[in-house]
Structure 1
Amino acid sequence: MKYFIGLFLCLLVSISYAQEYEIKGKVIDDQGIPLEMASVKVIPTNNPEDVKGSVTDFDGNFSIKVDSGTYHIEVEFISFETKKINNKSINKDTNLGTISLQFAQQELDEVNVVYETTQVDVRLDKKIYNVGKDLTTAGGTVSEALANVPSVTVDVDGAISLRGNANVRILINGKPSSVAGFGDQDVFQQLPADAIESVEVITSPSARYDAEGSGGIINIILKREKTLGINGSFRGTIGDPRNTGAYTNINLRTDKFNIFNNLGYTDRKGPGNAFYDNQYPGNPNFDRIIENRKYDRSGENFNMNTGVEYFFDETSSLTASFFMRLGDDLDRTRNRTTRFLNQTENSTTLRTEEEAEDDKRFQYALNYEKRFDPDNRDHKLTADFQYSNKDETKDNRIFEDIISPSTDFVARQNVFETEDEKSFLIQADYVLPIGETQFEAGFRGDYSDAKQGFLVNRKLAEDAPFTLNDSLSSTFNFQQNITAVYSQYGDKLGDKFSFLLGLRFEQTQLKGETIPVNEENFDQNFNFDKTFNGLFPTVNLIYEIGEEENISLGYNRRINRPRSWFLNPFPSQSSRTNIFQGNPDLDPAFANAFDLGYLKQWEQITLTGSVYYQRETESFERVQRDTGRDTAEDGIDIIENIPINLSTEERYGAELGLLYNPAKWLRTNLSFNYFRFESDGEFEGIEYGATNESYFGRFSANVILPWDIQWQTNAFYRGPRENAQTKTDPIASLDLAFSKDILNEKATISLNVRDLFNSRVRDQFTVTPNFISDSEFQWRERQVTLTFVYRFNQPKDKRRGSGGGGYDDDDGY
């Protein structure tokens, strides 16, 4: 390797001496700060293919040697407008002097707000949050990073909501992806937050986006460096409970190609706990059951995102990328259950579960981009092909014994689950700007096929063999085929008013086939084949009151499709007495949503606010019911959790965001969201309508202490909630982080504590006609993490967040 490097350096030297004249200069930003790693291209007017380039050093200086001739010179830096010097004659050593780049104003409908922790871009149809410098998520997961984004909440189960609505669509780089686990949000608790460049919160999606997700869209943009040369970073993490990880990001960019590779490895342990106090008035067997659960989750995960982008010329490129995630997890649960009859303890059992999970996810993608006008980057055609595959197996071994008043055998159970899912995505988008106007049209085909196997083996006596439980074992085949076309048109009328109108058509086909192991035991047909056609109009308007003030109005129609686990009619086996069972009769829900927004900027303050309203028909609700069955071992009633379609749900609310930066050493961010919903509908003769209101708030402060130590505090509070059956108590948590740059700012060391007071616990109280349940649940206990980051040729950008680069297109492709 050292001989290769030496030969490479000698070659560079020999080339440099072969040139005749030197072009040099210095690049600064609009505030006079030198820009390191800005790219400089020198293009001969008589041979545009023979491009020479360089990047600026730490002080913003550059030097390039060329033959005599006439050249076009371009100076570029991410998030800044390109500086062009055309037809420059070079016949001697030339000093271009100081070149100042202006911060890019990419679109008339865009407002940029920059502060230390997050960069916020407010656009007609979305808000973009750069999470690259959030100290409290260093060494954390994607779920933990999303939990710090305004308008987004992540509950103790890891479920993601937008403005309190869990019906949210998750995209990766603007497209559905196996990275997002085909809708399985558990994957975000494994992927490292370091892979994220930015998060787009799209509460009023335009027609270019999927109509899926009645609550809106969260689009996660992954990092990809675009600076010329070789650059990258290494991140190492240790933590307690165990949180060991390593993450590398390497990029090689030339004028003809861009190679990027991100590797991540984590070894994490996640202890948690739960408590259930269930009362069954009038039950002759047991009138009260108390469960104490301890969770010990551990897992090793390896992920890779790699690819190459080839530039045919200045206007067209082809990108091939590959994503892989390999997971090897082991979850242990100890469940101590005590039964009472007439307030007297009857018996206690101990149930132990050991679930080994092997998870493999692969994704192959091709993207072609053609820009038709080098001077207008918005006139373009993009085409995408993506193939994704998920292969997951779970082997769950369950042991249960009576430990009081005597020791006795209860049951043994082995549950083996398999899931194989394949998905194809074909997409094309065309954008045509015409002066101030913009026309866009596109097609998307998203087709997936999943097969889920479920085998349950049990033995009810210590000396008995394992036998197949054919009443619970089955195979579930599920297909979801979505074909969509869309068109949208935007324009600006005068100096104040802009609009974006769109219409999307989607055809959805949902097919399900349930194959029991022993079909003779079933007289029900759970198979279905449903097709839904729908038109989804979108309207986004913005009125500029002044340069620093505007109001916006958005309308969109959305669909919420049931996922496969909501449709699978066979019950889960995580508990003998509390189970989840899908509903094959579940239909998609449709929603109409309105959003009125406001933005105002002062010198030190940025204020954003909105009020919104949504009406959804056939909305989903998960209800609990007593099945009327009991377990074969000891007669405990089985409680079932099942999703149903309610008739309607009306949701309205308001949110407020405030960025206040009174000094260079103090920057703050406050957000507050209030929402209320009213639902009505019945199931099996029981009315499940309810009125619920809640709120959540988030406060973040970044303080620069002496010796340039950064101190960040994130506080979160969620108010109480209530639906037709369950009341949920409020939750409060606090995160702290400290960081310090070392080694000439080439490295950073940080310490963060998530959930400082170990208070992120969900307390719930449920009342039904047949039972009363009082419970608390903590998914993950307090986490302390120490992180070290080293960057090479990738400087820490104090003004625009770390990582530099990313996708500069509006849609994130």
Structure 2
Amino acid sequence: MKKVTLSIIFIASIFTSLTPAMAQFPMGGSTAPKTLQDQTPKGNSKITGTIVDSTTNKTVEFASIALLDKTTSKPVDGTMADEKGKFTMSKVAAGTFKLQVTFIGYNTKSIDVTLAKGQELDLGNVVITSSAKLLNEVTVTGQAALIEEKVDRLVYNAEKDITAKGGDAADVLRKVPLLTVDLDGNVSLRGSQNIRVLINNKPSTIIASSVADALKQIPADQIKTVEVITSPSAKYDAEGSGGIINIITKKNNLQGLSLNIDGGLGNRGSMLGLNGSYRKGKGGVTLGGFGRSIYNTITKTSLDQTSIVNGVSTLTKQTGDGSSHGLFGQYNLGFDYDLAKNQSLTAGVRYGVRNFSNQQDLVTKIYNDGILNSDASSRRYVDADNLSGTVDVNLDYLHTYKKPQQEWSISTLYSRNDLTNNFDANLMNPEGQTSGRQRNINTNLNQEFTFQSDYQTPIKKNQMLEFGGKGIFREVTSDYKFLFAGPTGNFSTEINQPQGELTYHQNIAAAYSSYTYTTKKRYTIKGGLRYEHTFIDASTKEGGPIGVGDYGILVPSINASKTIKGTTVKLAYNKRIQRPGLQQLNPNFNSANPQNITIGDPSLKPEITDNFELTLSKNIKKTFINASFFGRITNNAISQVRIPSDTLEGAIITTFKNIGRQHSYGTNIFANVAVTSKMNIGIFANILHTTLTGQVLGIDNVTQSLTNSGFNVSGGLFSQATFKNGWGAQAFGFMQGNQVQLQGNQGGFAFYTVGIKKDFKNKKGSIGLAGENFFNKRFNISSELKSAQFNQVSNIYMYNRGVRLTFSYKLGKMTVDAPKKKARSVNNDDVKSDGQGGGQQGGGTQGGGTPR
């Protein structure tokens, strides 16, 4: 309780210090001025036109148009372009005016206009040019619909991925440059799984438990863009040594009532989603949800491992036949309301559910010094359940001011994840009868409350100042029991068997300041400082307090960009912190497979990483090329460590340790070729070299010095084409090489998919067909792990040949409403995922993209 009080005092001091600073900047008056409509003399003339980008020749959505008195330069009327770039000003009085067009990232356009009484003036295309002073970003023209490059991130537009429809977020992320996603949905950014994944700038406790499982709950066709933030500014939490991935889902800025129906049916999975919205005037309500099921996911495994314990060599041979199925769902209720012209309130409730089950038939044979040990050999049927329910509740407020881009926000979030990891195992005798039963019960709770406030204001036309503060109050608990029973009867605990309870309180107080400056020669520099102090109170029921200790960290960041003769150059440096995640801390003794046991370590400390990055991008005629070169130096690196068990014969125990140092450097190269206006081809390659060094305490308390290094290589190809009458096609394929781990290598794999889609004439619906891995019956992922005390070779055979039929249809009539800034939501990106999500670690895919 004392540490919680200290956290509150620390946060209060942050906001106390921020208050005088905010007072230095004009906040705007509290009395709303009369509207232009109230001040404008009415007439019967009319002005229309269309706003067009001078470079791309495409229309510009939602540009602002003002009509000024030519003599006094005072505004007399105004409007905003719609989503097609068109605008109309009606009931304009006769006279001589100056029409002014403004939009972020473009130069102001002025046109002299003379109107006669009753005249209808059509200005046609009003062409505006890109500004030479971009405050926060440099946009790559020509391919902007595919990729947008900002000073600290890369934005991938995913709206037309027809092969992913009916799939989940992992299917989309596989095509995002810089990312790799393995067959279980585990995500890596430039070879690192120490990343944070956000949804609409919001965290969720389900992400903290497992990124792979969270991605299964997001339907692919609801994703609009994916932001890859390789060098996060001080505004973001310091967590995520590899970077941040922000998934932006589709939002409705329309007026009226609508209902969208999306579905998919395949031989390995199906999906049905219903999303409705109602907007009228200042307020809007959204209500929706979807359910997704997976089935027919068959796997076969083999394991050969040798270990030496107390001078005895033990050979373990194991085969497994498994299958899995699951139901995933997510349901949301959202509300937004414009309190005033410059104030908005946003609230939402989201509930996610995951029901995943995996069954395995494991046959294990144990050999001691080459002789079969019948007593230690076994056969067991295992049924493992991974269940969770997640609730996120947010309330956000945003205040904007007369000065463009000046705003102040308050954001709150309560998030709770109830997670259950259980398994039941039936032990079989040689006659095929049940000789005994085992049960592991592990219930986890991860809940947190967050409060933050942010303020930003432009300084002149080429500078931006941002600062803010944040507090996170987090509680994690894990209750675990290991039970035994005979062939029949009740379960009971036994002496010296794993059971206990972990309580882990983690409170974080943070403050930051960030400054952006753009020179006349188009240099953009964004620098910042962030300080975070972490208060930890951790204990186990059986062992008492855990001495992790409080800690603070100062996190600098700097990003710079410059466009030189069409080539955009970006340089970046930042320091990041990686706190351990729930499953890495969880001390539950998971022995669903007694030869591969997993247990967390609640005494883990955070890891600290220094990141360096150089990125070059350029359009060469119809080809866009992006190449990045990066390096990472990590101290106190959290890594999986495996040691032979000295009590369970032939078993290997996997846990997590702060092993020491990790050095990584490499390059990502991505190219997209616009073959025609309706067809593009993308190609990518990733090369990463990693060196891991550290010391591990093995059996008999013997310390081992470990070092491993090597290259991780992956690459692939992507293509999309659109045809007449609403037809479209898309193909994607990749190959992933071996992944370096501290004690060996994770096997590589390949993947490919092809799809077609037909839009209905009224554009209200579509139907599609997609297939994946149809030429391959199965893929084999072979891995080898080794140390001085053991050697393990494992094979996983994935039977993932699939086909699915997809459809969508829209009901209701909507009219366009210009989007307004809504309250900013809480953005917790501060804990580390276990990087597993129910399967293999590492691996990955990546690829190109589709145009908007």
Q: In the alignment, which residue of structure 2 is the partner of 1:738?
A: 756
Q: Which amino acid aligns with 1:653?
A: G
Out of 435, 449, 453, the residue aligned to residue 410 of structure 1 is 435
What aligned pairs does 1:558-569 form with structure 2 within 5 A after superposition? 558-569=576-587
Q: Which amino acid aligns with 1:776?
A: N
Q: In the alignment, which residue of structure 1 is the partner of 2:219?
A: 192
Q: In the alignment, which residue of structure 2 is the partner of 1:234?
A: 261
1:160 and 2:178 equivalent? no
Q: In the alignment, which residue of structure 2 is the partner of 1:521?
A: none
Structure with bigger RCO (C-alpha 8 Å, 6+ apart)? 2
1: distance between equivalents of 2:435 and 2:166? 43
Q: In the alignment, which residue of structure 1 is the partner of 2:653?
A: 640
* Residue-by-residue CA offset, 1:357-383 (whole Å, 9 max, x unaligned): 542211111121111125x1x111121
Out of 448, 452, 468, the residue aligned to residue 442 of structure 1 is 468
Distance 1:84 1:744, change over 3 A: farther
2: distance between equivalents of 1:499 and 1:455? 54
* Residue-by-residue CA offset, 1:29-66 (whole Å, 9 max, x unaligned): 44899979979999999xx9x99999979x98888976
Unaligned regions of 5+ residues in structure 2, if any?
1-41, 698-702, 828-852
2: distance between equivalents of 1:265 and 1:438? 43
Residue 81 of structure 1: CA displacement? 9.8
Q: In the alignment, which residue of structure 2 is the partner of 1:400?
A: 427
* Residue-by-residue CA offset, 1:343-400 (whole Å, 9 max, x unaligned): 76958744223344542211111121111125x1x11112111111112334532212
Mean CA deviation greater in 578-587 or 747-756: 747-756
Distance 1:770 1:500, change over 3 A: same
- How does the TM-score come out when normalised to structure 2? 0.80
Distance 1:29 1:795, change over 3 A: farther
Aligned length: 766
Q: In the alignment, which residue of structure 2 is the partner of 1:5?
A: none
2: distance between equivalents of 1:116 and 1:532? 45
2: distance between equivalents of 1:245 and 1:501? 45
1:771 and 2:797 equivalent? no
1:541 and 2:566 equivalent? no
Out of 808, 817, 832, the residue aligned to residue 789 of structure 1 is 808
Q: In the alignment, which residue of structure 1 is the partner of 2:709?
A: 691
Q: Which amino acid aligns with 1:213?
A: G
Distance 1:330 1:671, change over 3 A: same
Alpha-carbon contact 1:224-1:260 (below 8 Å) kept: no
Mean CA deviation greater in 386-395 or 340-349: 340-349
Distance 1:90 1:194, change over 3 A: farther
Residue 569 of structure 1: CA displacement? 2.7
Q: In the alignment, which residue of structure 2 is the partner of 1:624?
A: 642
Residue 541 of structure 1: CA displacement? 1.2
Residue 696 of structure 1: CA displacement? 1.5
SS state at 2:163 partner: helix
Distance 1:82 1:582, change over 3 A: farther
1:317 and 2:330 equivalent? no
Distance 1:796 1:79, change over 3 A: farther
Mean CA deviation greater in 82-91 or 469-478: 82-91
1:423 and 2:442 equivalent? no
SS state at 2:541 partner: strand
1:530 and 2:557 equivalent? no
SS state at 1:137 partner: coil
Q: In the alignment, which residue of structure 1 is the partner of 2:670?
A: 657
Q: In the alignment, which residue of structure 2 is the partner of 1:433?
A: 458
Out of 639, 662, 672, the residue aligned to residue 685 of structure 2 is 672
Alpha-carbon contact 1:274-1:775 (below 8 Å) kept: no
Residue 85 of structure 1: CA displacement? 9.8
Alpha-carbon contact 2:384-2:421 (below 8 Å) kept: yes
* Residue-by-residue CA offset, 1:673-713 (whole Å, 9 max, x unaligned): 11111122111211222112112113211123565532211
SS state at 1:194 partner: helix
* Residue-by-residue CA offset, 1:142-194 (whole Å, 9 max, x unaligned): 12211221111112332211011111122223342246355554221232123
1:214 and 2:231 equivalent? no
Q: In the alignment, which residue of structure 2 is the partner of 1:613?
A: 631
Q: Which amino acid aligns with 2:397?
A: Y
2: distance between equivalents of 1:750 and 1:606? 29
* Residue-by-residue CA offset, 1:458-481 (whole Å, 9 max, x unaligned): 12x335642124621222112222
Alpha-carbon contact 1:136-1:752 (below 8 Å) kept: yes
SS state at 2:166 partner: coil
Out of 478, 484, 488, the residue aligned to residue 514 of structure 2 is 488
Q: In the alignment, which residue of structure 2 is the partner of 1:288?
A: 316
Residue 598 of structure 1: CA displacement? 0.9
SS state at 1:112 partner: coil
1: distance between equivalents of 2:51 and 2:814? 15
Q: Which amino acid aligns with 1:365?
A: N
Q: In the alignment, which residue of structure 1 is the partner of 2:204?
A: 177
SS state at 1:280 partner: strand
SS state at 2:671 partner: strand
Residue 134 of structure 1: CA displacement? 1.4
- How does the TM-score come out when normalised to structure 1? 0.84
Distance 1:101 1:346, change over 3 A: farther
2: distance between equivalents of 1:740 and 1:562? 46
1: distance between equivalents of 2:733 and 2:823? 33
Unaligned regions of 5+ residues in structure 1, if any?
1-18, 517-523, 631-635, 798-802
* Residue-by-residue CA offset, 1:72-95 (whole Å, 9 max, x unaligned): 999999999999999999974745
Q: Which amino acid aligns with 1:294?
A: G
Distance 1:74 1:752, change over 3 A: farther
Q: In the alignment, which residue of structure 2 is the partner of 1:331?
A: 358
Q: In the alignment, which residue of structure 1 is the partner of 2:20?
A: none
1:364 and 2:393 equivalent? yes
Out of 213, 230, 236, the residue aligned to residue 203 of structure 1 is 230
1:762 and 2:781 equivalent? yes
Q: In the alignment, which residue of structure 1 is the partner of 2:608?
A: 590
Q: In the alignment, which residue of structure 1 is the partner of 2:150?
A: 123
Residue 437 of structure 1: CA displacement? 1.1
Aligned-residue sequence identity (percent) comes to: 22
Distance 1:478 1:792, change over 3 A: same
Q: Which amino acid aligns with 1:659?
A: N
Residue 20 of structure 1: CA displacement? 10
1: distance between equivalents of 2:812 and 2:134? 30
Alpha-carbon contact 2:611-2:631 (below 8 Å) kept: yes
Q: Which amino acid aligns with 1:155?
A: D
Distance 1:384 1:60, change over 3 A: closer
2: distance between equivalents of 1:44 and 1:159? 55
2: distance between equivalents of 1:311 and 1:69? 34
2: distance between equivalents of 1:86 and 1:448? 59
Distance 1:476 1:779, change over 3 A: farther
* Residue-by-residue CA offset, 1:538-580 (whole Å, 9 max, x unaligned): 011112213x222111000011111122123331132223111
Q: In the alignment, which residue of structure 2 is the partner of 1:712?
A: 730
Q: In the alignment, which residue of structure 2 is the partner of 1:3?
A: none
Mean CA deviation greater in 719-728 or 552-561: 719-728
* Residue-by-residue CA offset, 1:701-739 (whole Å, 9 max, x unaligned): 112356553221111111223334222333221111111
Alpha-carbon contact 1:35-1:56 (below 8 Å) kept: no
Q: In the alignment, which residue of structure 1 is the partner of 2:694?
A: 681
Alpha-carbon contact 1:115-1:667 (below 8 Å) kept: no
Q: Which amino acid aligns with 1:140?
A: G
1:552 and 2:570 equivalent? yes
What aligned pairs does 1:467-482 form with structure 2 within 5 A after superposition? 467-469=492-494, 471-482=497-508
1: distance between equivalents of 2:116 and 2:251? 35
